[in-house]
């Protein structure tokens, strides 16, 4: 069977994304019932991290364990990731020892090169361009909290904040699935033209809509979900004063802002949050907040992605073949 990577939701059709969402639901329900089958029994996941993460590391490691497999945490200083060994060789070596790889890299080009040379599936755990595992989780979370009488392609999703890797991914998956997507930010922090062109093409195919504005009242007036994220990224620390001045106070998510949205609106944040910066404690901890549902759903999403991209590749020997090999291995162990 052909190896498939999960690098960008744009590599998949809307139907394929819906299939992943359905798989998340089944595996979450099975997990809650403590009936999750060990679909990846004996398999290994290599987790490459160029920067630390709470949710990405824990969700993938726990997901692999729950499915009967094993996860290895690999970080710079412990492996030769582009230092003393080419990325291509690292990808080739890890592919011989692991059944699937997940990477969280600072540059998107690093992810693409790993996938180019890997001979096992590669899952994108975040780059400076996108965060596809996060936004699949986000859409699943929206499904769980969908307003009564609405379908997924009826939803109005408003992202408030900088043009981050989460914004690019969320804008693209929402427009792929026919949703109405709004980005609200100061003009200097709105998305670049190539991102917009991808979303606009998605809208032409799906019937979704895209609107980019610096008018906050307009941005949230129909929102079913308001999503916010950090105002600066790795390497932008010297820009923090300018960014604070640009976003504060008009683009901070407060209870006053939520009150301008429909009463059923839910607040989302991928975390970690800079509390009382992009959003106040009052709203992050309110009944309208579903940020910790999002965090939990990272686990169930990772289970689905691991199963989707690895399970079809695993050999599942029949009972007789397993017995033959077990007996052979025992005989050899006893002899030596």
- Whether 275 sits among the annotated catalytic residues: the reply is no
- Whether 329 sits among the annotated catalytic residues: the reply is no
Exactly one of 55, 172, 298, 300 is catalytic; name it: 298
Assigned token pair, 47: 């987790």
* DSSP secondary structure letters along 37-101: --TTTT-EEEEEESS--SHHHHHHHHHHHHTT-EEEEE-BTTB-SSSSS-HHHHHHHHHHH-SEE
Contact criterion met (CB below 8 Å) for 168 and 197: no
Please report the pLDDT score of residue 76 as a whole number: 80
pTM score: 0.95
Name residue, tokens 């007036």.
221
- Whether 134 sits among the annotated catalytic residues: the reply is yes
Exactly one of 57, 104, 183, 269 is catalytic; name it: 104
Q: Give the span between the Cα atoms of 162 and 183, in whole angstroms.
A: 9
- Whether 104 sits among the annotated catalytic residues: the reply is yes
Residues of the chain under the 70 pLDDT cut? 82
Exactly one of 5, 55, 131, 183 is catalytic; name it: 131
- Whether 131 sits among the annotated catalytic residues: the reply is yes
List, in order, residues 6 or more apart from 108 with CB less than 8 Å away.
127, 128, 129, 130
Q: Give the span between the Cα atoms of 224 and 258, in whole angstroms.
A: 10
Residue 32 exposed, middle or buried by CB count within 10 Å (0-12, 13-18, 19+): exposed
Please report the pLDDT score of residue 175 as a whole number: 98
Exactly one of 162, 203, 270, 294 is catalytic; name it: 270
Exactly one of 5, 55, 134, 174 is catalytic; name it: 134
Residue 243: C-alpha distances to residues 82, 139, 268 (Å): 32, 28, 21
Go through the domains of the chain in sequence order and give each one's CATH number: 9-131+298-314 (3.40.50.1370), 146-289 (3.40.50.1370)
- Whether 300 sits among the annotated catalytic residues: the reply is no
Closest CA to 133 of 182, 169, 176: 169
pLDDT tens per residue across span 136-188? 999 999 999 999 999 999 999 999 999 999 999 999 999 999 999 999 999 99
Please report the pLDDT score of residue 79 as a whole number: 81
């Amino acid at each position: 069977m052909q190896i498939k990577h999960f690098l960008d939701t744009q590599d998949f059709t809307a139907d394929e994304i819906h299939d992943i969402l359905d798989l998340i639901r089944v595996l979450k329900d099975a997990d809650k019932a403590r009936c999750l089958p060990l679909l990846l029994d004996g398999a290994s996941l290599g987790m490459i991290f160029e920067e630390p993460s709470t949710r990405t590391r824990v969700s993938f490691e726990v997901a692999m364990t729950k499915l009967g497999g094993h996860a290895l945490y690999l970080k710079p200083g412990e492996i030769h990731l582009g230092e003393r060994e080419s990325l291509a060789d690292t990808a080739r070596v890890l592919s011989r020892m692991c059944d699937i790889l997940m990477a969280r890299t600072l540059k998107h080009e690093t992810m693409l090169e790993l996938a180019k040379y890997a001979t096992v599936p590669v899952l994108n755990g975040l780059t400076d361009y996108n965060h596809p595992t996060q936004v699949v989780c986000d859409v699943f979370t929206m499904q769980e909290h969908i307003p009564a009488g609405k379908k997924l392609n009826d939803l109005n999703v408003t992202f408030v904040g900088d043009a981050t890797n989460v914004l690019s991914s969320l804008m693209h998956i929402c427009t792929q699935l026919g949703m109405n997507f709004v980005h609200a930010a100061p003009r200097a922090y709105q998305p670049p033209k190539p991102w917009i062109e991808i979303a606009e093409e998605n809208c032409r195919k799906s019937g979704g809509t895209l609107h980019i504005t610096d008018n906050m009242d307009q941005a949230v007036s129909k929102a079913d979900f308001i999503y916010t994220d950090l105002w600066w990224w790795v390497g932008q620390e010297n820009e923090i004063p300018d960014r604070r001045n640009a976003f504060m106070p008009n683009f901070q998510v407060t209870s006053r802002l939520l009150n301008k949205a429909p009463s059923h609106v839910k607040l989302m944040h991928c975390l970690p949050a800079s509390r009382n910066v992009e959003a106040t404690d009052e709203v992050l901890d309110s009944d309208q907040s579903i940020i910790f549902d999002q965090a939990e759903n990272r686990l169930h999403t990772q289970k689905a992605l691991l199963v989707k991209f690895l399970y079809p590749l695993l050999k599942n020997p029949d009972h007789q073949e397993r017995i033959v090999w077990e007996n052979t291995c025992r005989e050899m162990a006893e002899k030596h």
